[in-house]
Amino acid sequence: MSKLTTFDISEYLDSKEMIAEYLTQVLQEGNTDELLVAIGNIAKAKGMAQIANDTGLGRESLYKAFQEGAKPRFETVLKVLNSFGVKLQASA
């Protein structure tokens, strides 16, 4: 019998390019909850303690802010995205 392991996307988010592509795909879906979970996955990949240090936000509050159903402030989302080295861009 083989044992299945749980897929963890954060194990594959090891470059700015992978992070940007992941966010692009999630943004195209247009689901806010999925976007927050994706940001949480990226923060996990980079290290939540490091993100907390980079943004000046508490580690526990970051975990809560990027769970499904959470409603973080836009300022918080931008701080975290900036700590990833990712910029949001609108295009027509």
pLDDT in tens, 11-64: 999 888 899 899 999 999 988 889 999 999 999 999 999 999 999 999 999 988
Whether 62 is in a domain gets the answer: yes
- Establish if 49 belongs to a structural domain: yes
In a domain, 75, yes or no: yes
Residue 64 lies in a domain: yes
Name the helix (H) or strand (E) containing 78. Answer: helix 74-84
Question: What is the residue range of 65's domain?
Answer: 28-84
16 is a domain residue:
no
* Alpha-carbon span 45 to 17, nearest angstrom: 14
- What is the model's pLDDT at position 68? 76
Query: What's the confidence (pLDDT) of residue 5?
Result: 84
Joined together, the tokens standing for residue 1 give: 């019998």
pLDDT band for position 78 (50/70/90)? very high
**pLDDT of 81 over the 90 cut:** yes
